[in-house]
Structure 1
């Protein structure tokens, strides 16, 4: 199969759906789950682009040269497709990247050397519809450029969103316009005289040509969507009106287990951190995982309380509640603790060690040198998912996902450490 054109490598008897990522790795994972969930709802086959490197979340802000990384390098894609009963393909299986662009990490250069040709796609933009009135462009993303996709965006009809900007669009509304033809909703909204034409006039942008594609439905940004049209994060916590197993987590995320090679790598890190026998299959003692995000969140503290972030002592108190729950349910509570954090303050880290918490030393492990810039973040997420108890940072999506894995995969229990009042939504219990 030649990898020069995306559209030429799609089966004519199947319909597809894709979207781009650009929101930081954990948020991008949530968007991948949303994409696959929409594929299930519409009977389409999801095409997963690789995750782009993110300057703010990889290796202390130096991640742009990390390269893209594919979904299947992180997750067990064959297992996921089997468990949810949906075929899934990845973008790099269908088309090459441009030469001299940031490559897929770990994929041999020779597999990507066939120069691609330009595909012209009509796609939907959720960003133009959900953002405030100042937005006149679709959400920026790296994938269309590196895969030479000339994308023309049509805004999602404004009546599909709730009253206020930045509020999510529902999965139901998105799926309605992504259903394969004949689709009367799509036909109606692309007629010359209707609310969509008035909407683009108000934004002073032209109607897209070509219109959204029928064979491959595509979207610029699938983060601000939810089952209820309310807070995105809340549904992923499992503590919203849709219940524990609703939405994209229940449909897709809970089945997205780690790539076995990555998982085994993380187990080695845990064995060395806890100073137990380091060989495959050796028992890893039960532990409580702790994820503390402080770096950029410190900017959210009010001027009259610049040191508002929780202290180590605050977190220790919260951990006691987790231990109490585990003791009551399981008859024991782990006495080992693993902390991952973006905090660099030596005083805070010293207090954490004094509290008995184990920190992964990626510099000593030479994680970046051995495996690449993606792997400190990836390994931290995998290790946290193996915990029996979990304490996370309220509003951090990495914490939200880690807690779901601990509770749903391991039968464990987790809590979030609430922030100072007024610092955004609190996902407490």
Structure 2
């Protein structure tokens, strides 16, 4: 939602495509070999500092309610139940197993239930757990925090004069290629394309879809909305709620992308000097886009070539674990660096906003969170995206966060 593109909290699915037969497969293999030198390599697990001493981690009480923490814990525990206990993740310069991560969550939940005040809980948490810090982007533990949210849009099941901007289902001609099947060096890397004259070419860009009509008339429209800026933000966030003109509301969730790289439109406009940066950057971004003509707006948004395809869901927003994320408790990180589902402590400042969405002040916060999502712009040990909830208040809160802080993962000590 991310975020910079917080947007691809997506699990891309392999699609079979029979066109071209063996010759197409041969051409595809040759293409991948030729591109190999340019592909992003899977990074090694980061080296992290030893667990900090207890005094450094003496923090104020967690700033949210227990119910939200218990809900997020339950989602991670359900996720771990679906995995092999011996499966491993990188953490702190070593491999940790699903069993260790699961045991850590269960021990933390016992502390929540056994102790009612945070000073008591903190003493027990420091006794039972190792705190493993991220090395951050600078090797000194500095982590950049941003926020994402679930937008609320207005929509209709059919196109009208007002509702003329479509959400598309995943096109059947989108071919997702798992490069790890061709070479182990590329494990976890995927590209998305389409077959054109038996050749695999990049899938249509945002500009080709929105301004060029590449998908129009193919029956892929899921529903229609009335605001191209809100629709773009839905693509960035990855999930949202659409209030239907016919009554009621539906939830939509991004399930695939066109495979193009994410590029920040807000950063692009700031670099051009068209919007200011700082605490009001998000408000400036939206105001600038709404001041453009229809075609100018779509041209600017085309700077981000990445495009998201959606489906209807019963509950959400759904994170990368396959379960709904929890406002204020779920974070998105790079799954190549940090274990999915794991318990963490974050320390940063949070904004206190007025009714217009302007920042009145910043308050320091320490909070326990669960690593339950990912984003295409969230890369490396120095990036965290915090899910802030649904609707306008969550949007203003998420849009204000661009804070440096610290991230610590909790792992139960072997003798506890």
- Which is bigger in relative contact order (C-alpha 8 A, separation at least 6)? 2
TM-score interval, smaller chain:
under 0.3
Q: TM-score, normalised by structure 2?
A: 0.26
More strand by share: 2
TM-score by length of 1: 0.25
